[in-house]
Amino acid sequence: MPIEKELKNIKKDVSLAPFTTFKIGGRAKYFFVAHSQQQIIEALEQAQKYHLPFFILGGGSNLLVSDKGFDGLVIKIQNSKIERKDSSIIAEAGANLAQLLTIAKNSGLSGLEWAAGIPGTVGGALRGNSGAFGKSIADLVKNVRVFDISTRTIKNYSTKDCLFGYRESIFKKNKELVILSGEFVFDRDSIYEIEKRMKRYLEYRKAKQPLECFSAGCIFKNPEGFSAGKLIEKCSLKGKRKGGAQISKKHGNFIINLGNATSQDVMFLITLAKEEVKRKFGIELEEEIEFLGF
């Protein structure tokens, strides 16, 4: 029996570009939107049964998809319930980080203000331990609920088990762990003060980052003691173009899609930035973004 018969609403040959903030990328052989924890698990089990490579897609905001696409099943995580209980909030993996922030703010719960302006989902943020302004999502985590593909069980990871580091977590190292939801604990503050901080962070972001363009945020991690953006800037690469892609004139660590960029255009600029920074400073830049289909 073909997978189409077993997994209801699975789609074939779906363009992935619209599901990424870069707006770049070819087609997925299969594409399934999972609206609940049950549907996520079901899709993973079907992928295993049919020996299909799979990819978990959140908001596609930290991702470069190859123009060749992906010859497997893309599972778009879209379970999105958010539930508040006193000072804690449980958010499903497919909920937008922005939604979580809004609910926290409206409940007078503080701690996530730095995330104002960061796209993507709760699952994506937990996996990459997203952060800004010296803070990260790990600071708020009480536990993370995952589906472990290798044992086919649901498990709870405490903050300690998550092995969070700078843009790191156990979920990044172990691809068998798919995040289903997270529980976050906040501090209390007035809505007015929370809003004020959010505005300040957002204004800083708007001034420094090309938020108006298609991008995947920062391409590289900051090497210890350095800013990747500043290193790239010192190599005179800001504004450098290849086809439809450009190293942002506003921020050296952002590559923007001017409208018709291919994944190869972006890859060219990534390689160039790495080579130049290595040549000039002897520093090895490491990508923060994820790649699919290369």
Ligand X SMILES: Cc1cc2nc3c(=O)[nH]c(=O)nc-3n(C[C@H](O)[C@H](O)[C@H](O)COP(=O)(O)OP(=O)(O)OC[C@H]3O[C@@H](n4cnc5c(N)ncnc54)[C@H](O)[C@@H]3O)c2cc1C
Q: Which residues bind ligand X (CB under 6 A)?
A: 21, 55-63, 77, 93, 118-121, 123-125, 127-128, 130-132, 171, 178-179, 211, 215-217, 290
CB of 62 to ligand X, least distance (A): 4
- Burial of 268 (C-beta count, 10 Å sphere; 0-12/13-18/19+): middle
Contact yes or no for 115/101 (Cβ under 8 A): yes
Pick 21 or 262: Cβ nearer ligand X:
21
Instruction: Please tell me the distance from the alpha carbon of residue 21 to that of residue 56, in angstroms, as a whole number.
Output: 16
Long-range contacts of 8-16, Cβ-Cβ distance < 8 Å, separation of 24 or more: 9/33, 10/73, 14/74, 16/57, 16/60, 16/65, 16/69, 16/70, 16/74, 16/292
Instruction: Please tell me the distance from the alpha carbon of residue 195 to that of residue 203, in angstroms, as a whole number.
Output: 12
Pick 132 or 272: Cβ nearer ligand X:
132
Residue with tokens 């490579």: 53
Pick 7 or 138: Cβ nearer ligand X:
138
Pick 3 or 126: Cβ nearer ligand X:
126
Pick 63 or 231: Cβ nearer ligand X:
63
CB of 60 to ligand X, least distance (A): 5
Pick 26 or 119: Cβ nearer ligand X:
119
Pick 19 or 276: Cβ nearer ligand X:
19
CB of 186 to ligand X, least distance (A): 18
Kindly tell me the sign of the dihedral angle through the C-alpha atoms of 224, 143, 111, 213.
positive
Pick 74 or 231: Cβ nearer ligand X:
74
CB of 124 to ligand X, least distance (A): 2
CB of 61 to ligand X, least distance (A): 3
Instruction: Please tell me the distance from the alpha carbon of residue 221 to that of residue 77, in angstroms, as a whole number.
Output: 25
CB of 279 to ligand X, least distance (A): 27
CB of 128 to ligand X, least distance (A): 5
CB of 97 to ligand X, least distance (A): 6
b/e sequence 246-263, b meaning 16+ C-beta within 10 Å: bbbebbbbbbbbeeebbb
